[in-house]
Chain A
């Protein structure tokens, strides 16, 4: 690439030398040939075209800001002025006019004219190329079209005098020239880059515009009037003369427009700068909100950006910890709330406390209740700040913006300025925008905290679930005469259902199934208490009734008023098949004996409902003697109250299911009942804890 450019440059240089040689030859040998002039012009065009490619490649090689480009234009222009000054002080002979042609008076004139013309050519191309970039900065189709037309006209004007003598002027050239000027004017309105400059850059652009306008105007006048420069350019090449002249005029026009336009943009420059920093701050902030989960870092950013963008002298952000009730809009009678400062800038906690009184009807209360931004223009003379009378100069003006989240008020953002009437509407809007971002951040961090907490609770519940599973018997007692199976599933992670077995000695086995009122954690606690009571009292109580009475006493002290435990307790003599059942408010036991199916329902009262005699009198025992093949089903209301729409599984269906499966093993009967329940509820998750204990009697031991 570099090599190619060097070759191009070298070729251009050779062509220039060759052209110079021809000029020298022409001075000595008076050849007034048409063809000779044309060859000279073609050499010029060829060399400049090569130079254009080199410049174009250099210009498009790197991205550059509009202002840098403007700076380069200025440098190119200065160079042209220096060349022009150099030429005028060189003291060369100059040119003589003869038959519409220019005749150099001496060799230095030829040399200097060539040098100046080539320099002007190069710098004109540079200026042309740079202005093109500035005009086409946002590549609108219209801009592109106008520029192409202007370029074409420029080229056309230049080439139209390819064959004319230096001082000839044709009508075509004149027409093309005027159109070129027209389009130069049109293109000079393309100044899209000015808007985006900062104030400082605008000042630079203003200065540039001024000097460029002056410089290009001077050049255009120099080229246009009969100076040595004009003659030199015309002598060297008529098309080149036209080209440089038009570029100088265009440069003057564009610089003038740039100057005027910048001047008009100057008053709004500050506002524009602010808006821009506002937008970029908000952009940064919203990125932070999604990326940074460190709450403190976020609120710190919010306050520092507020400070920066609106030029506040201090800023702080308060978080509301206990928001007033959502419903009563503005009328929070007992809507107490607490605040804590999450971030502060240029202000101390004491100053905050002093400025924003915590009393009722203070500025904070107003914002909390009305949820609207408040602007205090003049703190010193504001009725709400009478408490500050003695301490002047804390702040002149204050903006208070609530952070309104959809779950309620999240916090308050404050900004102060030293001077009174310091905040304009834009400031308040900007602070509100920051407040919105802060709200999102606060909400986010709250949600994250909540989900972490949820996660923790969930794990706790899993632990509790595991613990509760261990509270249930790990294996069922076995005896040759019985077949026993059991299961229990809580509706949630933990539940209030309970079953237990106990070998009481002499072949006696205790079977208990219970249900604590309510569900979930509270039920689970009572369930574990029940386990403790059963393990403690079961062994020392000879009969189910005795156990019930003692268990009720033990439970009554710890159970709360509206909770109770229902329990069914059966003691089986595994040698004789004698089954003694007592029921403390629990579902009756299902007894299947051959074709006879019956619920065994001795009288009783739920444990924890009443203590003392009422309870003791209520509990009765029922004794049945099992015969081989008998099945007993103990269960909780999760079975009978399993729902399908408005319908309950009920006692009838339980009876039928158990009767149908009575020939199976205890495990088989259990599975059959569960499947029937599951079919009935259409596989929906059970909404109550469900427990099932199945006892099958194989027949009394035959003693030898």
Chain B
């Protein structure tokens, strides 16, 4: 039941992770792996597209927390986009909007990286 998939692509030097399905304690290691892979290849500009993410648990939220420090120390960021209202509510309850930039559209997040660098 708890199927979880991650798609990864590159757009204008920004790495985009597309999450699909249920992100909970069982599937969190998959996302951890994906982040580790990006950090290993020194890709610190990361956009996580949550369009197809149907559920996120506290263990799933924890994954973002585990990597944000490293990413920001390397002048990068993790930006979140395209959340369904339900998923956004989970992020919002915990106060994630205070810690992460959350966008409606992926494109906004990508261009945001370049606004900053200018």
Q: Which residues of A contact B (CB under 8 A)?
A: 515-519, 561-564, 566, 584-588, 603-606, 609-610, 614, 618, 637, 641, 646, 648, 688
User: Is the CB–CB distance between A610 and B99 below 8 Å?
Assistant: yes
B59-94 vs A, CB cutoff 8 Å, 1 = contact: the mask equals 101110110010000000000000000100000011
- The minimal Cβ–Cβ distance linking A562 to chain B, given in whole angstroms, is 3
A561-B69, A588-B93 known; A610-B62 Cβ under 8 A: no
The CA-CA distance from A637 to B96 in the complex, in Å, is 17
B69 to chain A: which residues have CB within 8 Å? 561
User: Is the CB–CB distance between A562 and B66 below 8 Å?
Assistant: yes
The CA-CA distance from A618 to B93 in the complex, in Å, is 12
- The minimal Cβ–Cβ distance linking B48 to chain A, given in whole angstroms, is 15
- The minimal Cβ–Cβ distance linking A494 to chain B, given in whole angstroms, is 15
- The minimal Cβ–Cβ distance linking A129 to chain B, given in whole angstroms, is 78
User: Is the CB–CB distance between A563 and B98 below 8 Å?
Assistant: no
Could you pull out 23 A-B pairs where Cβ atoms are within 8 angstroms? A518-B25, A519-B25, A561-B65, A561-B69, A562-B65, A562-B66, A563-B62, A563-B65, A564-B58, A564-B61, A584-B95, A603-B95, A605-B98, A605-B99, A606-B95, A609-B94, A609-B95, A610-B99, A618-B95, A618-B98, A641-B57, A646-B54, A648-B86
B86 to chain A: which residues have CB within 8 Å? 648
The CA-CA distance from A618 to B97 in the complex, in Å, is 11
The CA-CA distance from A603 to B96 in the complex, in Å, is 11
User: Is the CB–CB distance between A609 and B99 below 8 Å?
Assistant: yes
The CA-CA distance from A603 to B93 in the complex, in Å, is 8
User: Is the CB–CB distance between B62 and A518 below 8 Å?
Assistant: yes
Beyond A606-B95, A609-B94, A609-B99, 8 additional contacts (C-beta under 8 Å) are: A515-B58, A518-B25, A519-B25, A562-B66, A564-B65, A585-B94, A603-B95, A610-B98
User: Is the CB–CB distance between A614 and B99 below 8 Å?
Assistant: yes
State which of A517, A646, A688 has its C-beta within 8 Å of the C-beta of B62.
A517
A585 to chain B: which residues have CB within 8 Å? 93-95
User: Is the CB–CB distance between B63 and A562 below 8 Å?
Assistant: yes
B59 to chain A: which residues have CB within 8 Å? 517-519
A614-B98, A614-B99 known; A566-B93 Cβ under 8 A: yes
List the 6 closest A-B pairs by CB distance, nearest first.
Answer: A605-B95, A562-B62, A517-B58, A562-B66, A585-B94, A606-B94
The CA-CA distance from A580 to B30 in the complex, in Å, is 41
The CA-CA distance from A584 to B69 in the complex, in Å, is 21
The CA-CA distance from A516 to B58 in the complex, in Å, is 8
The CA-CA distance from A691 to B18 in the complex, in Å, is 33
The CA-CA distance from A561 to B99 in the complex, in Å, is 14
User: Is the CB–CB distance between B65 and A609 below 8 Å?
Assistant: yes
B63 to chain A: which residues have CB within 8 Å? 562
User: Is the CB–CB distance between A517 and B61 below 8 Å?
Assistant: yes
- The minimal Cβ–Cβ distance linking A434 to chain B, given in whole angstroms, is 42
The CA-CA distance from A517 to B61 in the complex, in Å, is 9
A561-B69, A646-B54 known; A604-B95 Cβ under 8 A: yes
B96 to chain A: which residues have CB within 8 Å? 609
B61 to chain A: which residues have CB within 8 Å? 517, 564
B99 to chain A: which residues have CB within 8 Å? 605, 609-610, 614
B58 to chain A: which residues have CB within 8 Å? 515-518, 564, 566, 637
A564 to chain B: which residues have CB within 8 Å? 58, 61-62, 65, 94
B94 to chain A: which residues have CB within 8 Å? 564, 566, 585, 605-606, 609
A586 to chain B: which residues have CB within 8 Å? 93
The CA-CA distance from A584 to B94 in the complex, in Å, is 7
A610 to chain B: which residues have CB within 8 Å? 98-99
